[in-house]
Chains A and B, each alone.
Chain A
Amino acid sequence: MALPVRAPPSRKGALPLPPEVPPPSQDGGGHGRGSAEGGGSGDRTAWGALPHIRIPALPASCSLHTTPPRLKTRAARVRVGKGDKAVTYEKAHPPHYIAHRKGWLSLHTGNLDGERCAAQRAVEDSFVRRFLHGTFPGCLADEAVLKRRSNSLLVCLLLLRRLPPSKLCFLLGYAETLLSHLYKCPVRIEAQTVPDAAVYKYL
């Protein structure tokens, strides 16, 4: 028995919709969406919106390729709280403001047409950030900006004045040498110290 096909509601004067997906057919019993018995098609679409919840495995079904949840609506966003959380300009703006109100934290040419190794740059960047986070405990006022110029890596740090300046000099010399030897390229750290992290707003 064919599924009842509901007539779409009249949409006079509305914007055109994308072409409709043909209603799931019964032949082949194939798609997880479509396996016939039980439930109206309305229920199926509800299930499809949360792809990590798999439809209970029925015999002769192949499963979907799903990705782990990417939570795109929660990435790099500081959630609004009671108003006591101090937040820098960098953190306060969600990622869709990049290139509008924010710049990039990591600048390299790997993403241009014909350039390779963007992924390696990303891995190196994340390592450098973790390294800096550990080497300067509690002293980073904001995210480090990494710039690659020809062969060299410039790390632009914003540090708080928590440690005495001789210790900061020690850590800067240590970090420069270690990163140079690790990545086999000259690494220069340009540090600027601020008394407090600049607060943009309180969330």
Chain B
Amino acid sequence: MPEYITKSFSPRFSFPQDPTAAHYMFHDDPYLMPKNSATARLFSLSKESGRNAAKYIIKEFPHFFDKILAEPNIPSLMPEICTPQIEGVSEEALRERINLRMVKASVDLFDQLLQAGTSISLETTNSLLDLLCFYGDGESTQEKESEEKEDLEESEVNASEQETPKRPPQRGSHPFASRWRENNNAERIFKIMPERNAHSYCTMIRGMVKHGASAKAYDMYTELLNDRHKADVHTFNALITAVPFLKDRFLERWELIKMFLNHMAQQEVQPNVQTFNAVLKTLRRCGGVGRSMAVPVIKEMEALEIEPSLATYDHLLSIFYRSADLASSGIISEVLDDVEKRSFTPQDPDDAKFFISAMQVCCDLKDIKLAYRLNKAVEKGDNWKFLDMDRLNSYWSRFFSLLCMMEQIDVVLKWYKEMSPSLFYPSPKNILDFLQALDAANHLEMIPSVWEDMKQLGFSKRRDLLEEVLSLMSRDQHPEEIQLAFAKCAEDIKTVHEQSGRDQASVEWTGSALGSVTVLFSRAGRTQDAWSMMERFQQINRIPTDLVMDEFLNCAKQTNSPDEAIKLVKLAASLGLPSSQKLKSRVEKEFKLSENQKKALESIQSDSDSSDSDSDSDRD
């Protein structure tokens, strides 16, 4: 065990030298430094959006920024020229607008040129088609990708492990859902083109697949075959990714993939790494068929001497480790063997998901050694670049959960001190796991410091964490100083419950929380505080448990306050508790009562007899 610690704690860039500092992109100021992962993301995004706002202003008013002050000139600080220079209706003007990515303007210019009767070369038309298919007939503004919808369909697929019955084609779940309108500009231009070559067909197919019109893409492909053209490798990749939307049954999907691959071989198109990634991505949604076919696909890849990228491994892991009970395949260690040896470069947009899913698999398998190996793989070469700040946070968060489950407490504590809050911000689940680890290792005296961390992270109002903390503290009896520390912590939590700031809702007391706080106050000998807690039970319509009342009596006995004891019995009687009898007898036996107090105690007894209670009350 220790060797893993020393190796992983070696001073490398992934472990910052200062464990209390935040990421270097944030300003070093207590107000501007993020405290948890949500604020970290918020601050980094707001800084980025500030930069984008500045770039927008520079783009809108370039005449303020185009004076050349630096010798030599720095082109990246000069405004870009994004208005077309060539006026008039000509092919050069069209090409310029295509270069500037002005979709609407180029389409208008194209129509004008056609009306004027000038013939436009095939290349220019093809580049216009490229532009239109890339942007899908909208403008070149930023669009958000919805990856969650894809995952949703995958989880549906895995829920039912057989071949699914025919479902209505789920257009809406495709990332660029239904943005390919009927007879939009691209189709229109394609139809009126006098001559088309392979490039035109390929562009159209790729555009249709990208924007959700998979059936049309398939039709376009058959047209391409009819015209006896050859498709290129990117088109085939696009078609393979579109397969899940063309067929629903697993076996049919696999047959279609095989057909495309055969066509590729016939047309002598060399596959590349993205081809295989596309195949594996589709196999992810083929359930059992996918699992049996994945390994032959990898072997084929090796035979063709194509180096797999991280996305390949990511798809592999998802195919084999999707559902929770399939832990039998040892794919993960083979994958780690490969990943450890190499430093990867980004080749596929899905590469970045690998490390997160690998760490998730390690967590599911509850294997800490694999996790350490994965950490080493991250540190190798350029692999750390695949984890940006967001992903870094979730990666280390999962790793920490695994640590808490599997490792000794001193190792956990060491990692906790080193890593948070600089490398990652603990999530609420991490705090819960950490508390359980402390519980398992009998280190509950650390709970007040964990509470301080919770306050700093902003989790002080989360009810589940508060319940956990309070129940752990109040479960057992502890030595004196620890009990005092716990009582101070409980007081803190009490103020949290009671403060009602301007725009904060105060946290409601629950019965167990209130009971725990009372017990903690009682054990520390703070009778007054404990009594004020007891009074709140009625406010929230809850009944204190027997344990609570016993502890309170113990406390009253220690601090020698029989008045409080009598008040407790009165409270118990008014609530009609069955234990009020026992309490009364305890008070009589253990406390030295004055005459008045004895009389008060007797009068309570009579109250409880007359009230409706299902206790067998014997009159003494």
Contact of A173 among B49, B68, B78 (CB under 8 A): B49
Mask of A154-188 contacts with B, CB within 8 angstroms, 1/0: 00000001000111111111111110111111000
Asked if B79 contacts A177 (CB within 8 A), the reply is no
Residues of B with C-beta under 8 A to A184: 68-70, 73-74, 77-78
Question: Is A191 at the interface (CB under 8 A from chain B)?
Answer: yes
CA distance A161 to B46 in the complex (A): 17
Asked if B47 contacts A172 (CB within 8 A), the reply is yes
Q: Name the distance in Å between B116's Cβ and chain A's nearest Cβ.
A: 40
Q: Name the distance in Å between B41's Cβ and chain A's nearest Cβ.
A: 10
Asked if A177 contacts B32 (CB within 8 A), the reply is no
Question: Is A88 at the interface (CB under 8 A from chain B)?
Answer: no
CB within 8 Å of A: which B35-59 residues: 39, 42-44, 46-51, 53-55, 57-58
Chain B interface, >50% SS class: helix
Question: Is B536 at the interface (CB under 8 A from chain A)?
Answer: no
Contact A170/B50 with A181-B65, A182-B64 known, Cβ cut-off 8 Å: yes
CA distance A193 to B30 in the complex (A): 8
Contact A173/B42 with A165-B31, A180-B77, A181-B65 known, Cβ cut-off 8 Å: no
Question: Is B29 at the interface (CB under 8 A from chain A)?
Answer: yes
Of all chain A residues, which has the CB nearest B73? A184
Question: Is B27 at the interface (CB under 8 A from chain A)?
Answer: yes
Residues of A with C-beta under 8 A to B47: 169-170, 172-173
Q: Give the number of residue pairs across the A-B interface with Cβ within 8 Å.
A: 80
CB within 8 Å of A: which B333-368 residues: none
Asked if B29 contacts A173 (CB within 8 A), the reply is no
Contact A171/B50 with A181-B65, A183-B69, A193-B29 known, Cβ cut-off 8 Å: yes
Q: Name the distance in Å between B356's Cβ and chain A's nearest Cβ.
A: 26
Asked if A177 contacts B46 (CB within 8 A), the reply is no
Residues of A with C-beta under 8 A to B26: 169
CA distance A176 to B43 in the complex (A): 15
Interface size on B, residues (CB 8 A): 31
Q: Name the distance in Å between A106's Cβ and chain B's nearest Cβ.
A: 18
Q: Name the distance in Å between A164's Cβ and chain B's nearest Cβ.
A: 10
Question: Is A25 at the interface (CB under 8 A from chain B)?
Answer: no
Asked if A161 contacts B43 (CB within 8 A), the reply is no
Residues of A with C-beta under 8 A to B73: 184
Question: Is A26 at the interface (CB under 8 A from chain B)?
Answer: no
Which interface residue of B27, B65, B69, B79 has the most chain A CB atoms within 10 A? B27
Of all chain A residues, which has the CB nearest B67? A184
Contact A166/B29 with A178-B58, A183-B69 known, Cβ cut-off 8 Å: no
Asked if A182 contacts B32 (CB within 8 A), the reply is no
Of all chain A residues, which has the CB nearest B48? A173
Of all chain B residues, which has the CB nearest A120? B69
Question: Is A111 at the interface (CB under 8 A from chain B)?
Answer: no
Asked if B65 contacts A177 (CB within 8 A), the reply is no
Of all chain B residues, which has the CB nearest A190? B27
Asked if B32 contacts A165 (CB within 8 A), the reply is yes
CA distance A103 to B190 in the complex (A): 70
CB within 8 Å of B: which A30-52 residues: none
Question: Is A63 at the interface (CB under 8 A from chain B)?
Answer: no
Q: Name the distance in Å between A121's Cβ and chain B's nearest Cβ.
A: 12
CA distance A23 to B77 in the complex (A): 63
Which interface residue of B32, B48, B68, B78 has the most chain A CB atoms within 10 A? B32
Question: Is A61 at the interface (CB under 8 A from chain B)?
Answer: no
Contact of B50 among A173, A181, A183, A185 (CB under 8 A): A173
CA distance A180 to B64 in the complex (A): 13
Q: Name the distance in Å between B34's Cβ and chain A's nearest Cβ.
A: 8
Question: Is A126 at the interface (CB under 8 A from chain B)?
Answer: no
Q: Which A residues fall within an 8 A CB radius of B?
A: 161, 165-178, 180-185, 190-193
What are 5 A-B interface contacts by the 8 Å CB criterion?
A166-B42, A170-B46, A178-B54, A184-B69, A191-B29
